[in-house]
Structure 1
């Protein structure tokens, strides 16, 4: 396989586990890899660790992966969304792009499995690949398994739910191009946005093969790995009693505005129902009594339907 893969790693104060993750990236069995890193304003030893590994890669004689640290005139803390979009925009062109978090561990065949799956597809449409993983504690001891993604993943499945974790995702060039055809992406979650593109305009490919270990610890930035019950409580707190639904609507409105001309009539109609742009009783009823499940778990679906009922 000759396809070029760019691994995109955004770091922030990651000195505790970064070396372990970098080691796992350098041990990938797939040969044609470049690791692009953007540091988001760390004030610990993250940059020194990155530079040490960069030097180590340059000194290799086997033609293995190289590390490219993005150099910026005025580096700033952009937050994870802008940081990943910056990486995807500024890296050299490749065939595929894989998102990477700083404190996980990838199994050696992660990229190889992803490329093999992507190469089986027709890459003239936006393709997103996601693989399986296991939950681990801080010592990388397995503590659990995630809910399997139900395929095929349709557009409705990514409106109020993000099936794939960012670090499991690989996208092709068509998806990258479609993403950057938007006028602005700075405040859009990179993982959720890419999944919306794949589900509405291309294909979402899922492989349940475990290719990564997801580290759960107290300082994790997002709550993606919390227990199911806690996740339901968070949905209730954020969506029924908080402003979480408005954030969903904000993203959906922006997606509609950017891609209205290229969406199918069916997906355009679905999206319009859930953008909540106009005060319409008929649209309220369509949301409330939508005929299909929008989330995989009963708790998540119930929280969403209650939000619709309350016109949140």
Structure 2
């Protein structure tokens, strides 16, 4: 029986410091039927040279590594770069997102393919994601990832992102639907595919930890905060910042615009309530006193409700 083909999609940008370690972990996978697609986003620290050196050193052919050319060294940002990779790579059975600075456990792809094959629905978008370890810059484990809700539907991903990009593997149907998005500008690929799978398909969670998620001071995102720091972040970024409008309202509104016809009646009604840009007392009250929770923790839900109370959404 032919093994399913996996395309690994890696976005790089000034990642020279940790790239070799991540490449080592990819090419030590117990599951071998994969091709790594890499697009550099205009690095100037030797990332491209390191990648070329690694390919020659390990005698990797185009069956194992494909560099998606960026001759103009155009910087798309990490969101645009991942969309470009998802769009340009050929068809496969599954697609795994990959950051440049993490380290994968040897069985990461094996576990993903195993669970995706058990949930093989040709006509449904399916997303797999796994647990992982938060680490410092030197890969010292800080703590494991939080356990997501048991059942993840659209409501659970409107104001919360259970899965981070590097932990996600999607099937071909999900890729197909995602690429139908008319305008992908400023949309995070990982949050977007989660919404599609939650609303129209299946999300499969694997409690096995399959990666070391490296966090350091210059990272694009951070996840190694304690609860006090998280609360401070909510106050600064959500309650008094623009995260609610620029990220959550933007993505919910865009998702409604793109896929409202494909949603169930209940999901369409719920999403319309939080997607509209209208501002009136009735809408404010309906949002504020919405009867069901959106976030897995009470503290996170409280931060959301305060934002709704203050009309910061």
Q: TM-score range by the shorter chain?
A: over 0.9
TM-score, normalising length: structure 2: 0.95
Q: Secondary structure at the match of 1:279?
A: coil
Q: Which residue of 2 aligns with 1:72?
A: 70
Cα distance in 2, alignment partners of residues 43 and 59 from structure 1: 24
**Aligned partners of 1:238, 1:143: CA distance in 2, in Å?**
24
Matching residue of 2:103 = 105
Inter-partner Cα distance in structure 1 for 2:112 and 2:21: 21
Gap runs ≥5 in structure 2: none
TM-aligned CA distance change 1:273 to 1:75, over 3 Å: same
Deviation at 1:92, TM superposition (A): 1.2
Shift of 1:65: 6.3
Q: Which moved more, 1:36-45 or 1:269-278?
A: 269-278
Report the Cα offset of residue 232 of structure 1: 2.0
Unaligned runs of 5+ in 1: none
2:7 is paired with a residue whose SS is strand
Q: Any conservation in 2 of the 1:134–1:146 contact (CA below 8 Å)?
A: yes
Q: Distance in 2 between matches of 1:270 and 1:57?
A: 52
Matched positions, count: 309
Instruction: Give me the CA root mean square deviation.
Output: 1.5
TM-score (norm 1): 0.95
Aligned partners of 2:210, 2:63: CA distance in 1, in Å? 18
* Shift >4 Å, 4+ stretches: none
The residue that corresponds to 1:43 in the other structure is 44
Alpha carbons 1:85, 1:186 under 8 Å: kept: no
Q: C-alpha deviations, 1:205-225, integer Å up to 9, x for none?
A: 101101101112112111233
Distance in 1, matches of 2:214 and 2:179, equals: 31
1:208 aligns with 2:207: yes
2:264 is matched with: 264
Tell me if the contact between 1:128 and 1:172 (Cα under 8 Å) persists in the aligned partners. yes
Q: Distance in 1 between matches of 2:286 and 2:308?
A: 10
CA distance 1:276–1:236, shift in 2 (3 Å): farther
Q: 1:127·1:172 contact (CA, 8 Å) conserved in 2?
A: yes
Structure 2 counterparts to residues 135-284 of structure 1, below 5 A: 135-247=134-246, 248-284=248-284
Q: Contact 2:4–2:113 at 8 Å: present in 1 too?
A: yes
| 2:114 corresponds to which of 113, 116, 121 | 116
Q: Deviations over 1:7-66 (max 9, x none)?
A: 010011111111000000000011110000011111011111111222245457xxx961
Correspondence 1:305 to 2:310: no
Partner of 1:286: 286
